Amino acid sequence: MAMEAAREYVWRGPAGPFELLVDPGVFVPSSTSKVLAEALRVSPGETVVDAGCGCGVLSLVAAKLGAGKVIGTDFSEAAVKCATANAERLGLSGIAEFRAGDLLTPVDGVLADVLIADVSGIPDAVAEVTGWFPDGKGGGRTGAELPVGMLAQAAAHLKPGGRVYLPTGTIQDDAAILAAAHEVFGAAMEPVAKKEFPLPDAVATSEKVAELIDEGTLHLAQRGSRLSWELTIWCCTLDQ
């Protein structure tokens, strides 16, 4: 059987356009990636940590926006290898490096000015029917599991006054994620971007998704014959 080739992908969001190669099994940048990048603010020389970096796109955006150092992390060794190659291809390997491991464990001892917190927050039932993830798996039953775990580690990896860019969506248990964020950041949480997206028709007919809606975990809107969900990007600031 022939080996699957890397996919060419042109990023046309902030700091673009630039071309990436996305290896088989590595998450392709999504609409969430673009909305988060549009909300992202990086001051010259700042240290940025990108949790769940995938092919490295948001790390590379941060580098192009003037970060002094960017460290991307991902549980997938394939993603780290792919992101490293993309940084080298774009001449950014002196700024951006990538480490494999669980959530923020690879950056223990690092204090960041900015944490990009785009970790997998899609329920397994949604991932099953949408094909959004290469392995067909999401981030747990409710989609809150990984973001909540990451937020529990966030304060230990931020400088005083450091900022987290946190995406939440009505397609996951966003109430649980926001409760975890409030534990860390109190009232210093500001919504900086919102956007609504349609869902594939297969979501509407999934029994597992219907169960999550009925129990109040997901809050999807009916738009004609289709369901949609709302994404919010939060800027959360650690107390100084």
pLDDT at 152: 96
pLDDT at 1: 42
Which of 67, 72, 17 is closest to 43 using CA atoms?
67
Beta strands at 47-51 and 112-116: parallel, antiparallel or unpaired: parallel
User: Mind listing the domains of the chain with CATH numbers?
Assistant: 7-237 (3.40.50.150)
d(CA 41, CA 65): 8
Over the range 149-178, which residues count as b (16 or more CB within 10 Å of their CB) and which as e?
bbbebbeebbeeebbbbbbbbbbbbbebbb
pLDDT at 135: 65
d(CA 129, CA 204): 10
Non-local CB neighbours of 207 within 8 Å, separated by 6+ positions: none
Alpha-carbon separation of residue 39 from 42, 88, 157, 204, 213 (angstroms): 10, 25, 21, 30, 29
**pTM of the entire predicted model:** 0.94
Q: What's the token pair of residue 158?
A: 């931020």
pLDDT at 115: 98
Give the pLDDT of the chain (240 residues) as one tens digit per residue: 445 788 999 999 999 999 999 999 898 999 999 999 999 999 999 999 999 999 999 999 999 999 999 999 999 999 999 999 999 999 999 999 999 999 999 999 999 999 999 987 889 999 888 877 766 667 799 999 999 999 999 999 999 999 999 999 999 999 999 999 999 999 999 999 999 999 988 888 899 999 999 999 999 999 888 899 999 999 999 998
3-class DSSP assignment, residue 55:
coil
Residue 190 in contact with residue 109, Cβ under 8 Å? no
